[in-house]
Amino acid sequence: MNIQAMNRPTAAEESMIAAYSDQIGLLPGDGAVMAARDRLFDDLKRRGLPTRRVEAWHYTDLKSLLRGVPVADTAVLANRVAPFISGASVFAFEQGVAADVGPLPQGVSAQPYRQGLMDGAAAAGLAAYDGDDAIGKINGSFVRDGFAIAVAEDTVLEAPLELQIVHGAGAVHGRFPVIFGAHSQAVVFERHLNVGTAASLVTAVSDITLADGAEVTWIVLQTQGPEDSHLGQIKVDLGTDAKLRLFVINAGGKLVRQEVHVRTSGEGADFKLRGINLLGAETHTDLTMTLGHDVPNTTSTQIIRSVVFDRARGVFQGQIRVAPDAQKTDARMACNTLLMSDEGEFSVKPELEIFADDVQCAHGATVTDIDHNHLYYLMARGIPEKPARGLLINAFVAEIAEELEDEATVEALEGVISEWLEHHG
C-alpha cells in the first residue's frame, strides 16, 4: 500500500491551501484572530478532509465528495432578495459580506461579525467543536464576516428575523453568533440560497445561546443551487427552562452536510428538532445531530422526514448523550424515509449513550415506499397515479411544517415543498 499516495492532497485540499496562502494577508483580524486562523488551518492541512474512516463522517466521505473549491468571488449582487415572510427584519449577508441593516425592532441589536474579528473579540469563538470538526476549521480559517445579534431579555418579537445568506458564485463563509436574553421570544429564519448559476462552496456557522426562559423557533431553509456544496453547523446552548424548536429544510445543493450540536445547561430545557430532506438527482445530503442532556429534568424530541428520488443519497446521524447527573431526562428520536427509487439510498445511525438510570429514551427508524393502499384509494377516485403519488409525498413531509402553526410560515414552506416535488416527483 502506498502511504504517500494515500496522504497526497486532493484537488479540493490543494485549492484550499492555495486559497489560504493567497488570502491570508487580506482576511480581517487582529493578532489573536490570525493566530486562531493559523491553528485551525494548520490542523486542517495536517489531518486533511475527513474520510469514511472518521466515525462522525463515515457516511459522508468529504475527502472524495468535495471535488473542488471555487475561487472566492466578492462581486456585488445585483438585486436584493425579498424576505421569505413579509414583514421580517432582514440581515442580508451578500456574497460573504454583511450588508447594512435597516431599522431593527426594539430590543434587537446587531453588528457585523468582521468588527469582532478586527478588534479580537471573536478570537475565542474561532475554535473547532472537536478534532473532527472540518466545517468549523474551514469556516474559521476563511470567514470574513457575518452578523453578531443580541435579543434583549423580556423582548417578544412579533415579526420574524431573517438571516439571508445569499450568493451568486465562488466560496462564501459566514458566522452568526446570536444571543437570546432571558424570557425573550423570537422566530428566526436562516435562509441559504444561490441566485446565480455557477457552483459555490458555502460554509455557515451559527452559535445560538438561549438564556433562562427564552423561547425560540429557528428555521433553516437551505435551497442552494444544484451544483453547490453546503457545509452548515449550528451550535446551541440552552439555559434553564429555555425552549428551542429547530426546523431544518434541505431542498437544494449537490453536497450538503448540516450539523446540529446542542447542549442543555439548565434544568427544564426543551429541544425539538424537525427535519425535512428533499433529495433528488445525484445529491448527497447529511443531517448530523449530537445532543447532550447534561442536567436533570430536560426533554427533547427529534423527527426527521426524508424523500429520496433518482440516485440521491441521504444520511441522518443522531446521537443523544445522557450524563450521569441528568436524571428525569425524556428524549425521543424518529427518522422516517420514503425511498422512491431503487437506486436511491438513505443511511440512518441513531445512537443513545445513557449514563443515568431514571430516564425515558427511545429511537426508531423506517425506510419504505408510499403506502399502495393509500395510492389505490386516490386512484380509485379518479386521481391519476403521478398526482396521487405527489399528494401522498407532500402530506408525508408537510406534516412537519404544519407544526409551526403560523399560517403564513406554513403556507410559504409548503410552497417550497410543492415546487420541489413538481420538479423532482
Quick check: 212 and 266 in contact, CB under 8 A?
yes
Give the per-residue pLDDT at 4: 37
Q: In this structure, how many other beta carbons lie within 10 angstroms of the beta carbon of residue 405?
A: 8
Residue 101, pLDDT above cutoff 80: yes
- CA torsion angle for 23, 39, 170, 258 (degrees, to 10)? -170
**CA–CA separation, 145 and 115 (whole Å):** 8
**CA–CA separation, 306 and 315 (whole Å):** 9
Residues of the chain above pLDDT 90, percent = 80
SS3 176: strand
- Pick left, alpha or beta for residue 68 (phi over 0 → left; psi -120 to 50 → alpha; otherwise beta): beta
Greatest extent of the chain over all pairs of C-alpha atoms, in Å: 70
* Better pLDDT: 382 or 65: 65
Instruction: Write out pLDDT tens, residues 243-270.
Output: 999 999 999 999 999 999 999 999 999 9
- How far does the chain reach from its first CA to its final CA, in angstroms? 45
pLDDT classification of 5: cutoffs 50, 70, 90: very low
pLDDT classification of 114: cutoffs 50, 70, 90: very high
192: β partners: 165, 222
| Mean of the per-residue pLDDT values of the chain | 92
Phi, psi angle pair for 56, to nearest 5°: -65, -20
SS3 36: helix
Query: What's the length of the chain?
Result: 425
Instruction: Write out pLDDT tens, residues 20-77.
Output: 999 988 999 999 999 999 999 999 999 999 999 999 999 999 999 998 888 766 666 7
Instruction: Write out pLDDT tens, residues 192-227.
Output: 999 988 889 999 999 999 999 999 999 999 999 999
Instruction: Write out pLDDT tens, residues 149-205.
Output: 999 999 999 999 999 999 988 999 999 999 999 999 999 999 999 998 888 999 999
**CA–CA separation, 325 and 199 (whole Å):** 47
**CA–CA separation, 243 and 275 (whole Å):** 17
**CA–CA separation, 207 and 263 (whole Å):** 12
Residue 393, pLDDT above cutoff 70: yes
* Better pLDDT: 380 or 418: 418
32, containing H or E segment: helix 31-47
Residue 6, pLDDT above cutoff 60: no
Quick check: 297 and 325 in contact, CB under 8 A?
no
Number of H helices, E strands in the chain: 9, 19
Lookup result for grid cell 440581515: 91
65, containing H or E segment: helix 62-65
Helices (H), 125-229: 134-142
Q: In this structure, how many other beta carbons lie within 10 angstroms of the beta carbon of residue 381?
A: 8
The CA distances from residue 399 to 71, 409, 414, in Å, are 40, 13, 10
The CA distances from residue 272 to 248, 334, 357, in Å, are 11, 12, 23
Give the per-residue pLDDT at 45: 94
Give the per-residue pLDDT at 413: 95
The predicted model gives 371-381 an average pLDDT of 77
Instruction: Write out pLDDT tens, residues 282-337.
Output: 999 999 999 999 999 999 999 999 999 999 999 999 999 999 999 999 999 999 99
Q: Are strands 313-322 and 345-354 parallel, antiparallel or unpaired?
A: parallel
Give the per-residue pLDDT at 370: 77
- Pick left, alpha or beta for residue 53 (phi over 0 → left; psi -120 to 50 → alpha; otherwise beta): alpha
**CA–CA separation, 178 and 281 (whole Å):** 35
Phi, psi angle pair for 74, to nearest 5°: -105, 15
Phi, psi angle pair for 61, to nearest 5°: -75, 90
Lookup result for grid cell 428538532: 273
Give the per-residue pLDDT at 76: 65
**CA–CA separation, 43 and 41 (whole Å):** 5
pTM, two decimal places = 0.95
